[in-house]
Amino acid sequence: MKAEVIAVGTELLLGQIANTNGQWISKEFASLGIPVYQHSVVGDNMKRVEDIFQAAHSRSDVIVVTGGLGPTEDDLTREAAQKIIGQRLLEDQQAMEKIALYYEKNKQTMTANNRKQALVFEEGIVLPNQEGMAPGQIVEHDGRAWIFLPGVPSEMKSLMKSGVLPYLQRSYKLQSDIVSEMMYFIGIGESTLENKLSALISQQTNPTLAPLASVGEVGLRITATGETGDEAREKIAVMKETILEIVGSYYYGSDNVSIESTVRDLLNKRGYRLGAAESLTGGKFIERLIALPGASTVIQGSLVAYTPLMKEKVIGVAPSLIKEHGTISNECAETMAINAKRILEADVAISFTGVAGPESSEGQEPGTVFIGLQIADERPSVYQFQFEGSRDKIRSRAVKKGYELIFHHIKNL
CA atoms of 157 and 377, how far apart (whole Å): 44
CA atoms of 105 and 110, how far apart (whole Å): 11
Query: How far apart are CB 266 and its own copies at their closest, in Å?
Result: 18
Structure letter (DSSP) for residue 170: H
Query: How far apart are CB 7 and its own copies at their closest, in Å?
Result: 8
Q: Of the two residues 124 and 366, which places its CB atom closer to its own copies in the complex?
A: 366
Q: Of the two residues 140 and 182, which places its CB atom closer to its own copies in the complex?
A: 182
Query: How far apart are CB 214 and its own copies at their closest, in Å?
Result: 9
Query: How far apart are CB 87 and its own copies at their closest, in Å?
Result: 25
Rg (CA), the chain: 26
Are the beta carbons of 338 and 315 closer than 8 angstroms? no
Q: Of the two residues 27 and 269, which places its CB atom closer to its own copies in the complex?
A: 27
Query: How far apart are CB 402 and its own copies at their closest, in Å?
Result: 13
Q: Of the two residues 87 and 381, which places its CB atom closer to its own copies in the complex?
A: 381
Written as one letter, the residue type at 154 is S
* Nearest one of 340, 395, 348 to 368, comparing CA atoms: 395
CA atoms of 353 and 70, how far apart (whole Å): 44
Q: Of the two residues 58 and 412, which places its CB atom closer to its own copies in the complex?
A: 58
Residues 6+ apart with CB under 8 A from 55: none
Query: How far apart are CB 342 and its own copies at their closest, in Å?
Result: 11
Q: Of the two residues 126 and 340, which places its CB atom closer to its own copies in the complex?
A: 340
The H or E element containing residue 24 is helix 20-32
Q: Which residues pair with 5 in a beta bridge?
A: 39, 64
Are the beta carbons of 185 and 193 closer than 8 angstroms? yes
Query: How far apart are CB 66 and its own copies at their closest, in Å?
Result: 13
DSSP secondary structure of 55-124:
HHHHH-SEEEEES--SSSTT--HHHHHHHHH-PPEEE-HHHHHHHHHHHHHTT-PPPGGGGGGGEEETTS
Q: Of the two residues 133 and 139, which places its CB atom closer to its own copies in the complex?
A: 133
Query: How far apart are CB 193 and its own copies at their closest, in Å?
Result: 10
Q: Of the two residues 123 and 131, which places its CB atom closer to its own copies in the complex?
A: 131
